[in-house]
Amino acid sequence: RGPVKNICCIGAGYVGGPTCAVLAWKCPDIKVTITDISEERIAAWNSEELPIFEPGLDAVVKEARGRNLFFSTDVDGSIAAADLIFVSVNTPTKEAGIGAGLAADLCYVEAATRRIATVSKKGAIIVEKSTVPCRTAESMRKILEAVSPSTDASFEILSNPEFLAEGTAIEDLLDPARVLIGAMPTPGGQLAQQRLAEVYARWVRPEAIITMGLWSSELSKLAANALLAQRVSSINAIAAICEKTEANVHEVSSACRLDLRIGSKFLEAGVGFGGSCFQKDLQNLIYLSLSLGLPEVAEYWKQVLVMNAWTKRRFSKDIVQKMFSTITSKHIAVLGFAFKADTGDTREAPAIDVCRDLLEDGAVVHIYDPKVSEASIDRALMAKGACSHTATKGKGYIVEPSMQQACAGASALVFMTNWTEFSSKQVDWKAIYQSMSKPAFIFDGRNVVKDVEALKKIGFSVYKSGVGY
């Protein structure tokens, strides 16, 4: 098995796209083809308007595309030509059947594995890039061996989970904190591990490339996301105590952060976590624990999700209560819809739940997000049953082209994403206040407002998550 020369990535999503674009950019002598069954997605990757927004991604794609980076709908052809295949397909939570609401739906992984079994060339290395339950590689191996037309087929499967964070994906990929490569302890497994490590070694610090066993690597991804999500729920639990005691969660977390054993990151109180991964990966871990006969472990991690759901609901309830217990027909500006800044991704965004609550309570919601299209907002709200599109009532919300327009005439503005433009010095708060209906409320679920007193002086009533004003 020689050095890797031709790579195929199955799945041109938030992970497959940026990951393999950076790989191609850094390794001009390796041909990289990113393939997907979605013609629309591949067409967008081949156009001037990429299907996802990530700072720095455009420049990377522009330089490598057509040189050694290709986007194609020819899934079989791309697999057949490759000596290393990343499986980077979606692994959502199952919606029906056994394990519904918790277990990962592995139908996309299985479909991709079957194509690999059928058309891949002998000796191709298969790499799990998707986040999968522990021991998925074992199922993949069984499928590969059973489906392969060749009688002496042998497949090497590696686990190489992706740790990029949306919004900083390119930075994370260029200088990752760690690249995990898990393999079986067989000579074939070790050689395959070495081949993939050599690819990363072209630009990643050697000490960041970590090799380990296959099952540890699979579980590490679930463990890392569970620990990150748990920090958010932990600080939000503290925030709830702060609100009742006139303590300030930002002061409390800044005191905690100084302890090196605790660390400084991911202690930002607010309206809870969103994104496609935390909830799904926790559900996955809970299901795994239950399947392994560990109900106490499952219960422990479940509480992280319970706290997150409660935090979002509590935020909506506070808005209604502070606005004199009725928001019927009141105009409310929701600023930010993406699950966090610097991404256009709305999957599991807390804004969806909060908008749904506000709409259910009869408010007219004006949504502004610099990177999320109206079509994405419609899709996200529709999926949560938050938008009925009835002929008489319309959608119940209006997507606005700017922060100022969203706020004009509104009784309250609600920060749901910490986009930098919301805290920019350019924002004319006096003008916004004048354009709003009085009393004018600010509900800050993302710690956007730093100088509460200045806004109070203008006349706003300001409420921040975790601060007992």
Nearer to ligand NAI, 78 or 253 (CB): 78
36 is in an annotated binding site: yes
131 is in an annotated binding site: yes
- Residue 277 is a binding residue for ligand NAI (CB under 6 A): yes
Cα angle 199-204-210, degrees, rounded to a multiple of 5: 80
List the x/- string, 100-129, binding to ligand NAI by CB under 6 A.
--------x--xx-----------------
- Residue 130 is a binding residue for ligand NAI (CB under 6 A): yes
Which range binds ligand NAI by CB under 6 A, 116-124, 162-170, 196-204, 404-412? 162-170
User: For residues 103 and 201, what is the distance between their CA atoms, to the nearest angstrom?
Assistant: 34
Q: Which two tokens stand for residue 274?
A: 């969103």
Ranges within 379-398 binding ligand NAI (CB under 6 A): none
Ranges within 282-341 binding ligand NAI (CB under 6 A): none
Q: What DSSP assignment string belongs to 216-264? A: HHHHHHHHHHHHHHHHHHHHHHHHHHHHHHT-BHHHHHHHHHTSTTT-S
CB atoms inside a 10 Å sphere around CB 121: 12
92 is in an annotated binding site: yes
261 is in an annotated binding site: no
At closest approach, how far in Å is the CB of 75 from ligand NAI?
5
List the x/- string, 4-33, binding to ligand NAI by CB under 6 A.
------xxxxxxx-----------------
At closest approach, how far in Å is the CB of 370 from ligand NAI?
19
User: For residues 345 and 339, what is the distance between their CA atoms, to the nearest angstrom?
Assistant: 6
Q: Alpha-carbon torsion 35, 38, 42, 45, what sign? A: negative
DSSP for residue 421: G
Strands laid side by side in the 209-213 sheet: 69-72, 31-35, 6-10, 84-87, 125-128, 156-159, 179-183, 209-213
* Dihedral Cα 146, 81, 86, 35, nearest 10 deg: -110
91 is in an annotated binding site: yes
- Residue 166 is a binding residue for ligand NAI (CB under 6 A): yes
- Residue 217 is a binding residue for ligand NAI (CB under 6 A): no
Strands laid side by side in the 412-415 sheet: 397-399, 364-368, 331-335, 412-415, 441-444, 461-464
Contacts of 28 (CB under 8 A, 6+ apart): 64, 67, 68
At closest approach, how far in Å is the CB of 114 from ligand NAI?
8
At closest approach, how far in Å is the CB of 268 from ligand NAI?
18
At closest approach, how far in Å is the CB of 362 from ligand NAI?
34
Contacts of 288 (CB under 8 A, 6+ apart): 133, 134, 222
Q: Which of 149, 146, 98 is nearest to 120 (CA)?
A: 149
Annotated active-site residue in 27, 277, 387, 407: 277
User: For residues 256 and 431, what is the distance between their CA atoms, to the nearest angstrom?
Assistant: 38
CB atoms inside a 10 Å sphere around CB 32: 27
List the x/- string, 65-104, binding to ligand NAI by CB under 6 A.
----------x------------xxxx-------------
With H, G, I as helix, E, B as strand and everything else as coil, classify residue 10.
strand
At closest approach, how far in Å is the CB of 127 from ligand NAI?
12
Nearer to ligand NAI, 90 or 308 (CB): 90
Exactly one of 162, 172, 369, 400 binds ligand NAI (CB under 6 A); that residue is 162
Query: Can 277 be counted among the known catalytic residues?
Result: yes
At closest approach, how far in Å is the CB of 86 from ligand NAI?
10
- Residue 38 is a binding residue for ligand NAI (CB under 6 A): yes
Active site residues per annotation: 277
Annotated binding site for NAD(+): 11-16, 36, 41, 89-93, 130-131, 166, 277-280, 347
Q: Contact positions toward ligand NAI, by CB under 6 A? A: 10-16, 36-38, 41, 75, 88-91, 108, 111-112, 130-131, 162, 164, 166, 276-277
